[in-house]
Amino acid sequence: MKKNFVTFFSPGTFFSEETTKEIDEWNVDLAMEMAKDIYERYDAKPYGFKFYTRERNENDFDSKETNRSGLFYLGGKVFTVKELEDKNDPEDSILIMNMKGNGYDRCVVNTNSWKFTGMLSDGDTVLDFNMR
């Protein structure tokens, strides 16, 4: 048995809120449409999603994850550390320190609902997306 899922991530109080739904295949366009119907606490809307596949053989007690995509950000503005430093905004100082300290060169700021800032890793994609 093999099933595909998409997990949507929305801004939360301490951690991201998550909603997982089954999906026939890893289809980015379909997932973008599905995101428009996701509402979390305080009307938070998704900033991104990941696909994953779970499989179970006939003799397996439980399924196991066999594949996972990178994070697909639902729009947003990408900034490099240098761009943030050049802005010279004191509100970015902790973000810049965290990015440098953790080895990230790029971040994305998404405002689909509440403002969310996430780090861009290899395999992540920022989609051209409008929540409205």
- For residue 112, how far is the Cα from the chain centroid? 12
pLDDT per position as a tens digit, 18-27: 999 999 999 9
Tally: H helices and E strands in the chain: 3, 9
124 and 70 in contact (C-beta within 8 Å)?
A: yes
Sheet holding 106-110, edge to edge: 77-80, 106-110, 116-119
Task: Find, among 56, 78, 70, 77, the residue nearest to 6 by Cα.
Answer: 70
pLDDT per position as a tens digit, 37-52: 999 999 999 999 999 9
Contacts (Cβ under 8 Å, ≥6 apart) of 78: 106, 107, 108, 120, 126
Contacts (Cβ under 8 Å, ≥6 apart) of 81: 96, 99, 100, 104, 105, 106
The pTM assigned to this predicted structure is: 0.91
pLDDT per position as a tens digit, 3-19: 999 999 999 999 999 99
| Predicted local distance difference test score (pLDDT) of residue 68 | 96
